[in-house]
Structure 1
Amino acid sequence: MALRVGLVGYGLAGKTFHAPLFPAAEIELAAVASSDSAKVLADHPGVTVHPTPAALFADTSIDLVVLATPSPTHPALMLEALAAGKHVVSDKPFTPSVAEADQVIAAAAKAGRIATCFQNRRWDSDFLTLRKLIEAGELGEIKSYRAHFEFYKGEVADRWQERPAPGVGIHYDLGAHLIDQALQLFGLPDWVEGDLVIQRSGGAIADGFHTRMGKGALRIDLFGNYYAPDHSTRYAVHGTRGSYMKRFMDIQEDQLRGGMTPLDEGYGIEPQDRWARVTTFDGEQGSSRFEPSIPGAHQQFYALLRQAIENGGPPPVLAEEARDTIRIIEAIRESSEAGRRVTP
């Protein structure tokens, strides 16, 4: 019997970034909590549409709940889902605060259920390729890591993501992905410097950030903003033996927005003109090549989560890892307000 999932929320995230991944992970979308049943049923005629999250949590046929809801709602909904005996996935950010993350972790342990965070960018093509090179030692010891996640959204829109609330701001949004990737590669840093700014006219939430972190001699620089008409800069990573230089974001978001799914031929595969340039130096001479990109695979998050639920292993993203990302976000905010380095 397929794992049955209930999706809470059917806006952009639920419709575009979660639901299309389930079939490739052998997970059945069985129910959706939404106030717009016609929209849901137009895409998924066989599902049950519940009017509220509480009604979905009470559905005894559901094994796993996925929250594709506004960030401020994540802690309360995760606690409610766990109390109902469900495994639960929160879209990022996991929670607005470390204290709330601790509450969710404790509740999951008490319920004997998995609570995890949808850090799908671990399965981006460029990150998978970079991680392979680092783990193989091709770049040597990394000394400088610079990553960008930028778009152009010059006008402030009337939506919840633009209104001040817990867990809202570019550091919780794009920043959560950048931080999670850096922590996966290098672990928690020794110190954090953060700079948060409102750059757009009429803006009410942080929409630009630069975060610098240090771990020994390693320097990690993370950038995000909404004033990037040319948002092709992605990675500049330098080690004792080589460099990884990458332009353009992973292709999966554009493919999903265009209606492609992981079951379609070509999904997650970057064209050759998007491959990274890898330059290595053996101490005497250097060489440069374009590194074929490992295909992106956001669906792997759900495939690995299904295996964890069915076999009792750890989920693909530990709740403690998600909490560490929030710990860094809190340090960024503290540093930006105080104008100094802080220890996370």
Structure 2
Amino acid sequence: MSIQKDINVALIGYGFVGKTFHAPLINSVAGLNLFAVSSGHEEKVKNDLPDAIVFDSPEKAIQDSEVDLVVIASPNATHAPLAKLALNAGKHVVVDKPFTLDLDEARELAALASEKKLLLSVFQNRRWDTDYLGITEVINSGAIGQVKHFESHMDRFRPEVRDRWREHDLPGSGLWFDIGPHIIDQALQLFGLPETISGDITTLRCGAKINDWAHVTLTYPEHKVILHATMLAAGGVARFTVHGDKGSVVKQYADQQESQLIAGILPGSEAWGEDSDDLTVFDSHSKATTIKTPKGDQRQFYMRVRDAIQGVNVNPVPPAQAIAVMAVLESAVRSSQLGTVQKLELTKAEKESFYLLS
């Protein structure tokens, strides 16, 4: 039996996302080698990753002949051009969300990856969050019957406007393009493509230059999905609230893997992915029962990327799914701007590809 060589990874960007999520997750997965990092802060990288080569430009990291997989964790506007550069250089690519700035860019990248026969994936690590896994288990068990109302909140309390690129008025900035891809992706994985989208996206914090509040409704034939994100929720709102025709389920608090990563807890360690906040299930008589929340493991994304590159599994987030998320993102923005209900601007082939790969 042949032994697969380690996949050399070049991480583009070592800001909060690159340092907090990608680097520790990549380092924790056997078969992946964090070979290089592109950053203007070599000392910062070397303090954390002494064995990594540090390149002072993304282009140098991408063109290095030893690199097999390029992970793009740089500002949103650079995602498409850097992914295109990497694919043309013959590299597999993982892009942090949002995939691109618009549908046209997403389609162009998908076509290029297909032409080059290279893996192109989007970092949807939240598919392996405790809260989402728990809610999915309850829905699939039939305990609450057929879902009629699904509400997903990914809220923060950051009332002060900070001086960082994510809060500047730049293409792809704003809360909706930051949080929206995660909560959209989870909803699409559970329920498929909606018939219509209605969005209300605005700015509420004093001095803010970008949207920091979003309320989006996805309409399906027999149920509604509410997606909500804000920078002004200090507490009191459940992460998930789901009502079915036989009962309800509530998950109060969010997955803790991000907090664990910030605290320096290593992925795969004993405490990794633990969640002490139980799910509460209400039956048709409003009687409450608690159910233990399953462990989460965001390493699963990179494990599956590794396996897909090695030809033993499928791409965990194929371009067709990323294109669908982009379509919902754009439809919600358009709905908010025009004040009208919108449909997804996906072709018949794109819809079929989404379901074929889901």
SS of alignment partner, residue 25 of structure 1: coil
Q: For 1:16-95, what aligned pairs fall within 5 Å after superposition?
A: 16-26=20-30, 27-95=32-100
Q: Please report the RMSD computed on the Cα atoms of aligned residues, expressed in angstroms.
A: 1.2
SS of alignment partner, residue 147 of structure 1: strand
* 2:325 aligned with 1:325: yes
User: Offset at 1:287?
Assistant: 4.0
1:172-194 deviation digits (Å, cap 9, x = unpaired): 11111111111110011011110
Q: Give the TM-score normalised by structure 2.
A: 0.92
Contact 2:135 2:251 in 1 (8 A): no
Contact 2:134 2:293 in 1 (8 A): yes
**Structure 1 unmatched ranges of 5 or more:** none
Contact 1:151 1:231 in 2 (8 A): no
Aligned to 1:275: 278
What amino acid sits opposite 1:21 in the alignment?
L
Aligned to 2:195: 190
**Structure 2 unmatched ranges of 5 or more:** 345-358
What amino acid sits opposite 1:331 in the alignment?
S
Aligned to 1:297: 297
What amino acid sits opposite 2:325 in the alignment?
T
Aligned to 1:106: 111
SS of alignment partner, residue 13 of structure 1: helix
Q: Give the TM-score normalised by structure 1.
A: 0.96
User: Which stretch of the first structure deviates more once superposed, 241-250 or 71-80?
Assistant: 241-250
User: Offset at 1:242?
Assistant: 2.4
Aligned to 1:116: 121
Q: For 1:230-241, what aligned pairs fall within 5 Å after superposition?
A: 230=235, 232-241=237-246
User: Offset at 1:133?
Assistant: 2.0
1:202-235 deviation digits (Å, cap 9, x = unpaired): 1111110100111012011111110111165211
In structure 2, how many angstroms separate the alpha carbons of the residues matched to 1:240 and 1:63?
49
User: Offset at 1:93?
Assistant: 0.4
1:264-283 deviation digits (Å, cap 9, x = unpaired): 21111011xx11101233xx
Percent identical among aligned pairs is 37
User: Which stretch of the first structure deviates more once superposed, 72-81 or 131-140?
Assistant: 131-140
What amino acid sits opposite 2:326 in the alignment?
I
Which residue of 116, 119, 127 corresponds with 2:132? Answer: 127
User: Offset at 1:28?
Assistant: 1.2
In structure 2, how many angstroms separate the alpha carbons of the residues matched to 1:98 and 1:140?
35
1:240-298 deviation digits (Å, cap 9, x = unpaired): 22211011110101000001121321111011xx11101233xxx56421111111111
> Quick one: structure 1 residues 270 and 232, their matched pair in 2 at CA, closer, same or farther if it must change by over 3 Å?
farther
Greater than 6 Å deviation, 4+ residue runs: none
Aligned to 1:6: 10
User: Offset at 1:335?
Assistant: 0.6
User: Offset at 1:102?
Assistant: 0.2
* 2:254 aligned with 1:254: no
1:82-102 deviation digits (Å, cap 9, x = unpaired): 001111111100011011000
User: Which stretch of the first structure deviates more once superposed, 301-310 or 128-137?
Assistant: 128-137
1:71-127 deviation digits (Å, cap 9, x = unpaired): 111000000010011111111000110110001001101111011110111110010
Contact 1:152 1:231 in 2 (8 A): no
Aligned to 2:185: 180
User: Which stretch of the first structure deviates more once superposed, 225-234 or 70-79?
Assistant: 225-234
SS of alignment partner, residue 301 of structure 1: helix
What amino acid sits opposite 2:304 in the alignment?
L
Aligned to 1:306: 306
In structure 2, how many angstroms separate the alpha carbons of the residues matched to 1:106 and 1:210?
32
What amino acid sits opposite 1:19 in the alignment?
A
Aligned to 2:161: 156
Which residue of 215, 240, 245 corresponds with 1:210? Answer: 215
- The answer to which structure has the higher strand fraction is 1
Contact 1:150 1:231 in 2 (8 A): no
What amino acid sits opposite 1:67 in the alignment?
I
The number of residues matched between the two structures is: 339
In structure 2, how many angstroms separate the alpha carbons of the residues matched to 1:106 and 1:205?
31
What amino acid sits opposite 2:45 in the alignment?
V
